[in-house]
Structure 1
Amino acid sequence: MLAKANRITSADDYRVIVRRGAKVGGAHTVSYVRSRESGTDARFGFIVSKKVGGAVRRNLVRRRLKAVCHEALGDGISDVDVVVRALPSASLADWNEIRAEVLGALQRRRARSSAAAAQEKGE
């Protein structure tokens, strides 16, 4: 389970991240990633609509997304807010597909931020 400091709980925070965050799409999820100030914990939020399936299927998808994000925290991700929206195909995807998609989105965002920081420094 994600710690309270690593969860997005406010509807306003969800709205800002989805509208202003970088959108990274995949076959089963769409991730919205927004940078935060340096030295802050990463925060995660999840959107799993009824189009994904019934309550049992939605909760399974949500638990898988939470587990992937918990793993990302262990890899040292910080200074970002991430909202992951599950698409209807996520209900049929297995653990490895969801894991690869979400971690790939975070890696792409990390690479983009590194390139932008290097460009600002004039490297």
Structure 2
Amino acid sequence: MKIETHLINHLKIAEIITDQVILSTPEEGLDLLGNLYYQGFDGIIIHEQNITPAFFDLKTTIAGEILQKFAQYRMPLIIIGDFSAFSSKSLQDFIYESNTGRQVNFLPSRSEAIQAFPSYEGKEFELITFH
């Protein structure tokens, strides 16, 4: 797993880069959140393919349990992916409702994810990427 750091108007955002599923349980969500929080990150970007497919089946309650951890600790999370492939109306409604807030968002691209993080003290958008 690689963590790509984005500095956006003084916010330190972690983008998780990996080919593996790293988010399958609420415990893994809490571990990820805690590790990145203690490294000084202000938000997290994760890709759909890094999350267990069961997350996107709301009947499993995995999504609610994982996202509750991020909300509880006030760690903004953006999930990047093509969510139009999911036919579940309840999931589409869940995504729509999530996207009306600022805590958890589901967006189609990395560039939209980076731009979605709030500005800091009204300064213009600034992006610095470390590899």
**What TM-score, normalized by structure 2, do the two folds share?**
0.27
User: Of Structure 1 and Structure 2, which has the larger fraction of its residues in helix?
Assistant: 1
**What TM-score, normalized by structure 1, do the two folds share?**
0.28
User: Of Structure 1 and Structure 2, which has the larger fraction of its residues in strand?
Assistant: 2
